Structure 1
Amino acid sequence: MGALAWRAALAALLVCGIGLLPWLSRTDPALTVLKARSAERDPSPEALAVVRAQLGLDDGPSHLLGRWLAGLSRADAGQSWISGADVLPDVLQALGVSLLLTAAALTVALVVAAGVCARTLWLGAGRRLEGRRPAGGSGSAVLAALPEFLIASVLATVIGVQWGWLPALGWYGPQWTVLPALALGLPAGAVLGRLLDDQLPAAFTEPWASAAAARGLTGRSIARKALRRCVPGLLPNLGLFVVGLTGGSVAVEQIFDIPGLGRTTLRAAIAQDLPVLQTGALVLVALAAVVTGLARLAAGRLIGPALRDGALHTVHGPTPAGRTGPAVVCGVLLSAVVGLGLPRDPLALDTGARLLPPSAAHPFGTDALGRDVLARVAHGALDTLLLALSISAIALTAGVLLGLLPRLSGPLVDTVNAVPPVLAALLVAAVWGGGPTTPVAAVAVVAWAPLAAHTGALLRQERATAHLAATRALGAGPWHLLRSELLPAVLPSVARHALLRLPGIALALASLGFLGLGAQPPSPEWGLLLAENQPYAERAPWAVLAPAAVLALLGALAVTAPGALRRPRRLRTPGCDPREQPSRKVELSRAE
């Protein structure tokens, strides 16, 4: 009951904050609504007075919120301030569209995740994984780092328009779901695959795997059991993906003209259509609660009574050190791009050199105003990378600390994840004010949630391990268990997760810039670069591919760099757990 009350309080706080949005932003909601209804109409005092009287704005936000909440008890979410139509049917229809798109995107994501983990599963099934780390990762890094809106634009332009294989605009049947599902599912599947691939090697080295092989079980059966062992730790993040794809795929819905919940919420937020905005946010919060509950039930079903009985084996022991070569290559290439572009002027205009292809003078070509793309990418990288690193560090710290308190952070994670980044940016802008810091604050507000969910899921399993029960029985206190057992076991995986999300944070900043909620021209911020050059993608693809390639390079670096976080695997004595090696060595030395 306590968790339910906490969840309800957070949902009420979010809805109330949205209800105060026009007044927090210090704008006249009557003027915004009038402009949304008719941009050409003169906002005279008489016209604004009519709008205020129609909407009851003179009664204040508390009266409006109370009237809306009273209507919810009768399944009446009010009427749209812009169109005058009933809100609830339109929001539920948009939710149905988004859920169908999310289901298709999740199918693509699961296929991609299976492809990322295929080599690890094959090696583990053949008992050839000991001492090795899978080399796969560069392809998944590129997929994870490519912006969803860029993938959507390329698919719509090439496959939809130029080749005509699939429809690119609208929402009229199953064929219209393929391209947007690919745009959403490819990067999501790459992230999920990397998280799963990070845990599988340790699962294959657990005692049950050796016992199963000794009993003659097939490698395919052992691989299935290893998947079942690792998937519960990722189910919370899978739930976050479902909710995030439902409400956060605004750019993709904009490009493909899909009437989903993300686009509906964005339009309502921009037009300050409070009934639609509040109803959409409440639906997303309810969806987050349902998905989280289902994820927990599924995790319990997969692991069974082992969580209750403390019969699990840790999957976060020492793992082989990863190869440093790919990380060094990616780091050198990224440093070279930044170093070559910094001496150039990113704001210098040359109208006689518009949209020039790559050359010795302009290695990345020029944009529509004749500006050097290399210079703009390099100068934009400084701000984007520094901001992304800062946000990642804050998110990692907050995620781990809140993940240690699952009863407090669970409902908070669900509520925060239910807020699309665009809506978060608008809420932050209302309180914080506009400017280049707005997207930073908006991304920081929501970036910790996946890490907290991951931390909580891993700790839940780690607390159910046999070695922790034995350590507790020997008299270890809670702080010793946390400092010496739980955090060392969980932190490396969560830190690698944070690094894996570094390109995603950079992409979130870029996405907000792409939608016009971030930095403003002539800033060389990466989101603006993609947004400014998107209309010229067919004539000058280099202007879009250059920043996209740097983003992909950042993703490859984020995936290969975590090898430095891996602790070298110690030699194992047959039949002895790695954690027992220090005491084993002491006993041998005494015997000698």
Structure 2
Amino acid sequence: MRQRTASILWRAGIAVALITAIGLLPWVSHTDPARTVLKARSADRDPTPEMLRDIRVQLGLDAGPFHLLGDWLGGLWRGDFGTSWLSGGQVGPAVLQALGVSLLLMGVALVVAAVTAALICARTLWLGGRRRTAGGTGSAVLAAVPEFLTATVLATVVGVQLGWLPALGWYGPRWTVLPALALGLPAGAVLGRLLDDLLPGAFAEPWARSAAARGLPRRTIARQALRRSLPGLLPNTGLFVVGLTGGAVAVEQIFDIPGLGRTTLQAALAQDLPVLQAGTLLLVLLATAATGLAHLGTRLLTGPALRDGALPTPHRTTTPARSLQPLLHAGLLLGVIALGLPRDPLALDTRARLQPPTRSHPFGTDALGRDLLARVAHGALDTLLLALALGAVALITGVLLGLVPRLSGPLVDTVTALPPVLVALLVTAVAGSGAATPALAVAAVAWAPLAAHTSALLRQERAALHLTATRALGAGPGYLLRHELLPAILPPVTRHALLRLPGIALSLASLAFLGLGAQPPSPEWGLLLAENQPYAERAPWAVLAPAALLALLGALAVTAAGGVRLPGRRTREPAAS
């Protein structure tokens, strides 16, 4: 009871600290909110000193940030979220309406993600947990194609050209299909790969082999193996719930959806602090609720075995299947980079604008006549090296914090509640804009899924029978950590980190797509996609070139992740039932 109370107080303290930091933004960034508010209200009027003074008095800015924050927090007890600095209307109804829109979109996207994950795991379930010697390229492509690019293609082709579904607005259930597909397909691909990684260990447990030997139906064994694997996946599912709600800013922008992520982003850009604070608070509460449901689901699925230390370990060291796919993907990616590096990515030729692929321009040209092969190759150096560095930092940070779940749990909930775009805006306000802004923003949030995964695996491994026996023989915490816990946890978390590598590159691309970070004429991949998106229908090769390399990076990450194993206990591969 005492630990639960401490956890609740710790989470509440983090939420208050976050809200306080947001309330201090204008003073930390040394900007004048009165100027931003005046520009948003009336862009044509000049900011005279008298006019700015009147706005400060009206908003209460002269009283200081802590007075404003106290008034806002005091209103929460009465259900009052404050008054918008821009519209003058009540914040509560508008933000709650945006939350309802995002929850509906998130629900449909979760259905899409669940179907996608089920299709990815279907073959492993059917084969009784035997590892595939190859494959995963299709799921890698789904996970690596940017959400905003998927949204653009769906809106242009399905919505505009074919006219099957509406492409803009939010007026009913039919308007949810295309954005839900854009959000759910990548999320389902990642969740499917993570679940597919857990299933072989479940099928290798003694109960599964005994059930197969007694002739139980394959369907029954597969259903129980799925139930056995889900507890290790539920924490990351909770993170996806929040990500699909607050992190869908680019998709909401493309489809003109008045969701919570877009509302919070617009409030941050306009320095409308009451709306920004209310949106952030709702995202934090949503993250807390999702995490609580994930923990409850874990307890219901696992039962008293988690408490009594009666679980067999599902994390077993096996001999990885040999495959040439990682070498082929890496060779192809390096070949494209090597061919493009000798070319000039900034050379302009206005007579060769938007040319299709030719011998002189294998990837075609962009709207200014620049060679796309040169631009994607030079942009790959920055994008890939930065993504690798951020992935390594996220892995180390996630494992270290995941090993202390009482400390990291509330931090994971809070960090996950913040969309990377909002984090980038916070970083920009404090540290200024620049090329490092996306890296700092992504580094601030990329560790959270890995920490949640580490904590989930640690909880199950601590309840394993072999750990209980080793502890009974006198093994200390240090020995258990080095010889039992880390060998069981590090391989799946490292594979998860590799699966997240395209996602890190996508986050950098998304921030550049929304105008944060790299600026023209930089050949960064996200900026290339943003620059060429208006010409996607007329010159699709301008968008397909960077998108194809992102998909290739995803395929490389997935196939390479399959070979990550650490020395440890050797077990037989489970036989097909």
Q: TM-score range by the shorter chain?
A: over 0.9
Please state how far the C-alpha of 1:134 moved relative to its aligned partner: 5.2
SS in 2 for 1:263: helix
Residue deviations 1:354-389, cap 9 Å, x none? 000001111110000001111110111100111101
- Structure 1 residue 52 corresponds to structure 2 residue 56: yes
Identify which of 40, 45, 58 aligns with 1:41.
Answer: 45
Q: Which amino acid aligns with 1:18?
A: I
Structure 2 partner of 1:456: 455
Q: How does 1:206-245 map to 2 (within 5 A)?
A: 206-245=205-244
Counterparts of 1:238 and 1:300, CA distance in 2? 15
SS in 2 for 1:346: coil
Question: Are 1:178 and 2:177 matched, yes or no?
Answer: yes
Q: Is the 8 A contact 2:318 2:571 kept in 1?
A: no
Is 322-331 or 508-517 further displaced after alignment? 322-331
2:30 aligns to what? 26
The verdict on how the C-alpha distance between 1:208 and 1:183 changes in structure 2, with shifts beyond 3 A counting, is: same
Deviation above 3 Å: which 4+ runs of structure 1? 567-575
Matching residue's letter, 1:79: T
Deviations 1:448-485 (A, max 9, x none): 00000000000000000000000001110000000000
Alignment of 1:13-412 (within 5 A): 13-124=17-128, 129-130=129-130, 132-133=131-132, 135-412=134-411
Q: Structure 2 counterpart of 1:340, which letter?
A: L
Secondary structure at the residue paired with 1:448?
helix
TM-superposed CA distance for 1:571, in Å, is 7.0
SS class of match (1:6)? helix
SS at structure 1 position matched to 2:127: helix
Contact kept, 8 Å, 2:135 with 2:559, in 1: the verdict is no
Q: Secondary structure at the match of 1:356?
A: coil
Deviations 1:223-245 (A, max 9, x none): 00000000010000000000111
Cα 1:573–1:6 change in 2 (3 A) is closer
Amino acid at match of 1:119: R
Letter of the structure 1 residue corresponding to residue 420 of structure 2? P
Query: 6, 10, 13: which is aligned to 2:14?
Result: 10
Aligned residue for 1:564, secondary structure, equals coil
Distance (whole Å) between structure 1 residues aligned to residue 313 and residue 573 of structure 2: 17
- For the 8 Å contact 1:323–1:563, the answer to whether it is kept is no
Consecutive unaligned residues of structure 2, counting only runs of 5 or more, are none
Superposition CA RMSD, Å: 1.4
AA aligned to 1:322 is A
Task: Give a deviation string over 1:124-183, Cα, whole Å, max 9, x none.
Answer: 0xxxx55x4353300000000000000000000000000000000000111000000000
Q: Using the alignment, how far apart are the partners of 2:400 and 2:570 within structure 1?
A: 33
The answer as to whether partners of 1:376 and 1:524 remain within 8 angstroms in 2 is: yes
1:216 Cα deviation from its structure 2 partner: 2.6
TM superposition shift of 1:59: 1.1
List runs of 5+ in structure 1 lacking aligned partners: 576-592
The one-character-per-residue Cα deviations of 1:276-329 (angstroms, maximum 9, x if unpaired) are 000000011011111111110011000101101111111111123133311011
Query: Within 1, Cα distance between the matches of 2:378 and 2:206?
Result: 52
Q: Any conservation in 2 of the 1:144–1:555 contact (CA below 8 Å)?
A: yes
Contact 2:316 2:571 in 1 (8 A): no
**Residue identity in the other structure for 2:547:** A
Contact 1:94 1:260 in 2 (8 A): yes
> Counterpart of 1:139 in structure 2: which amino acid?
G
Q: How far is 1:563 from its partner?
A: 3.0
Cα distance in 2 between the residues matched to 1:543 and 1:39: 35
In structure 2, C-alpha distance between the alignment counterparts of 1:439 and 1:401, rounded to whole Å:
23
Mapped partners of 1:234, 1:446: distance in 2: 19
Aligned twin of 2:442: 443
TM-score scaled by length of structure 1: 0.95
Report % sequence identity: 74
Q: Show CA shifts across 1:176-226 (max 9, x none).
A: 000000000000000000000001111111100011123331000000000
Assess, with a 3 A threshold, how the Cα gap between structure 1 residues 505 and 488 changes in structure 2: closer, same or farther: same
Indicate the larger mover: 137-146 or 32-41. 32-41
Contact 1:149/1:252 (CA < 8 Å) preserved in 2? yes
